[in-house]
Amino acid sequence: MKRKGLCFYLRIYRKILAQDLKSKMSYRADFIISTLGMIFTNISGFVGFWILFRNFPSINGWSYYEMLFLYGFSLVSITPVQCMFDNNWSLRQQVYSGDFIKYCFRPINLFFYYQSEVFDIKGLGQLAFGIGTIAYSWCHIDIAFTPLALLKLIVFIITASLIMIALQNAAAASCFWIQNSFYVLDLAFRFKDYAKYPITIFSSVFRFIFTFIVPIAFIAYYPSLVILRPDEVPILSWLSPIIGVAFFFVSYKIWMHGAMKYNGTGS
């Protein structure tokens, strides 16, 4: 069978996305309410920082606007996993019911076919809020806005998002081997709440865990240092794109390995 290229998958994804958005927009009230809920949830985080910094001028050397930048960076970084990989939350039910077998008979990549089926459009509200937070905090930080800085921001946000995507892929794939896998996926997703903080505020044990075991420090902290503190960028910040790509590739292989072993009997 002829191997299909990137253009083929982009064309297919565009058509699937168009149909999915049409079906969601037919329930506009639900879309508006859920989008507003997402925005207000993120506003609460913004207000939390404001209240905290009314009492403390800085936290371990991090100013209010630097923390806001991290917060906005983390929001934008986790948006792709919420928009484009939301179907991972349904994987457990599909596997246990036996319905997942229908995805195994299409002449396209199984991972692509399953993930492209759902696009969570309300995550775009979070994306807009995250971009606004980055822009607002950047205006108050003594860092020049240049085309190169913008390019770095885009590249490091994209690669940082691969870390969260990889965490969710690997956690969701646990359902191929673990019956109560929801708790694994839920735990992996909750780790995102720690991504908005600099790891320097944690103990050495958690710094090691968040860097080398559950690498959420690469969702915002390490990549954002390239923008926030360009004169003292650690080697892990420059390596974060490579780490993001490698971690995503490993999670993809884990997901595909479980899917290819699936026998369709349910459990």
Q: Is the pLDDT of residue 2 over 70?
A: no
Q: Considering the chain, what is the average pLDDT of its residues?
A: 87
What is the pLDDT averaged over residues 200-226?
Answer: 92
Residue 1 pLDDT class (50, 70, 90 cuts):
very low
Catalogue the E-assigned strands of 95-150.
none
- Please state, in angstroms and rounded to a whole number, the distance separating the CA atoms of residues 43 and 135: 15
Q: Is the pLDDT of residue 25 over 80?
A: no
Residue 87 pLDDT class (50, 70, 90 cuts):
very high
Report whether 219 contacts 195 (CB < 8 A): yes
Helix (H) or strand (E) holding 28: helix 28-55
**One-character DSSP codes across 221-250:** HHHHHHHH-TTS--HHHHHHHHHHHHHHHH
Residue 265 pLDDT class (50, 70, 90 cuts):
low
What is the pLDDT averaged over residues 186-191?
Answer: 89
What is the pLDDT averaged over residues 189-209?
Answer: 89
Interaxial angle between packed helices 147-173 and 88-97, expressed in degrees from 0 to 180 and rounded to the nearest 10: 20
72: tokens are 């906005």
Q: Is the pLDDT of residue 267 over 60?
A: no
Catalogue the E-assigned strands of the chain.
58-59, 62-63
Q: Is the pLDDT of residue 206 over 80?
A: yes
Return the percentage of the chain with pLDDT > 90, whole number: 48
pLDDT on residue 266:
46
Return the percentage of the chain with pLDDT > 70, whole number: 94
Q: Is the pLDDT of residue 264 over 80?
A: no
Report whether 115 contacts 84 (CB < 8 A): yes
In sequence order, which residues have a C-beta less than 8 Å from that of residue 73 and are 6 or more positions away? Answer: 130, 134, 157, 160, 220, 223, 224
3-state secondary structure of 59: strand
Q: What is the pLDDT of residues 152-181, one digit of tens each?
A: 999 999 999 999 999 999 999 999 999 888
How many angstroms separate the Cα of 58 from the Cα of each of 25, 50, 75, 201, 261?
43, 11, 21, 11, 51
Q: Is the pLDDT of residue 62 over 90?
A: no
Q: Which of 56-65, 88-97, 249-258 has the lowest mean pLDDT?
A: 56-65
Q: Is the pLDDT of residue 30 over 80?
A: no
* pTM (predicted TM-score): 0.86
How many angstroms separate the Cα of 13 from the Cα of each of 5, 24, 26, 159, 254?
13, 16, 20, 21, 23
Handedness of CA 13, 16, 21, 22 (dihedral sign): positive
